[in-house]
Each structure stands twice: as structure tokens, then as C-alpha cells.
């Protein structure tokens, strides 16, 4: 199984947002960079069979931009919301193991915690920048692409 793990694109700064954090949207820069990055990413990599996103608006918007280029099954799962655990990620992957390529769109530090556990039993220190795409296959890191490399 191939897994793409994507951190949401650039959103309104948390310090400038005084409403429910789950409603914090992408900014124009985040939208334009995501569009450009996903176009280029999908020229080099296979499209996922399913995209699973956090309920947070910024993650959903990122996932929706990707899905405009993929047109695949798209679901929202609250287990990917900020604060997701390593077990939440494992459960979602297990439940969707029938798909050849799955894509998870979530948040930091949850993504890094999961990836560290999944790849190195917690020994990897990594932080995904906004919009970064990580490609994992059968428990091995295949590729890590920062969004700015693709735009």
C-alpha cells in the first residue's frame, strides 16, 4: 500500500484567528501554492484512490484542491482533527487497506508523531512544513516533497 500524507496548506495564522480553530481557512497563498504543487505532484506520482481529510476547514480545503485533480472518493474523518493520535492514523489506514493508494490530509505535530512511529518506532525527528507531501510505501519513506519545491 502507498500512503500520501499531506499537511494542510498555508492558513490564517492561529494568532490572528479568534474563532473556532476548526473553521480556520486557507489564505490565498495557501490555495495558489496547493493548486500549483498538486498539479506538478500528480504529473510524477500516481493519484490516490481515496483522500481522507480532517474536519478542519484548512485541511478540507487542501484535500478538495487535490481532489479537483484526482476526482476520487473523498471523505472527512474527525480522527484526523488536530490532536489525532498515532492510533487514529493506524486505524484509518487499516480501515482503508483495500485501496492501493490512500491520501491523508492532517496537521502537525500529529503527522510527524505518526510518521515517526510508523517508520522508526518513534526514533525519527521530523516536522512537515505546510503543504508538504510525504509518500510512504510498505513502511518505507519513498519521498518527502516540500510544497515550495513543486511551485
Q: Could you tell me the pTM of the whole model? A: 0.94
CATH architecture label of 2-11+21-150 = 3-Layer(aba) Sandwich (3.40)
Q: How far apart are the C-alpha atoms of 127 and 123, rounded to whole Å?
A: 13
Cβ neighbours of residue 59 closer than 8 Å, sequence gap 6 or more: 8, 53, 80, 105, 106, 107
Q: What residues does each domain of the chain span?
A: 2-11+21-150
What are the phi and psi torsion angles at 71 (to 5°)? 50, 60
How does pLDDT run across 74-126, given as a tens digit for each residue?
A: 999 999 999 999 999 999 999 999 999 999 999 999 999 999 999 998 788 88
How does pLDDT run across 16-74, given as a tens digit for each residue?
A: 888 998 999 999 999 999 999 999 888 888 999 999 999 999 999 999 999 999 999 99
Amino acid at each position: 500500500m502507498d500512503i500520501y500524507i499531506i499537511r494542510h496548506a498555508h492558513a490564517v495564522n492561529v494568532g490572528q484567528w479568534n474563532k473556532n480553530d476548526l473553521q480556520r481557512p486557507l489564505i490565498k497563498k495557501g490555495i495558489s501554492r496547493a493548486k500549483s504543487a498538486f498539479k506538478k505532484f500528480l504529473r510524477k506520482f500516481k493519484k490516490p484512490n481515496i483522500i481522507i481529510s480532517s474536519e478542519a476547514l484548512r485541511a478540507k480545503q487542501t484535500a478538495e484542491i487535490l481532489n479537483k485533480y484526482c476526482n476520487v472518493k473523498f471523505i472527512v474523518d474527525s480522527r484526523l482533527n488536530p490532536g489525532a493520535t498515532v492510533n487514529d492514523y493506524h486505524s484509518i489506514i487499516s480501515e482503508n487497506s483495500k485501496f492501493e493508494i490512500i491520501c491523508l490530509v492532517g496537521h502537525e505535530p500529529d503527522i510527524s508523531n505518526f510518521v515517526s512511529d510508523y517508520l522508526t518506532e518513534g526514533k525519527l525527528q521530523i516536522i512537515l512544513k505546510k503543504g508538504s507531501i510525504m509518500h510512504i510505501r510498505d513502511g518505507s519513506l519513498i519521498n518527502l516533497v516540500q510544497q515550495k519545491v513543486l511551485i
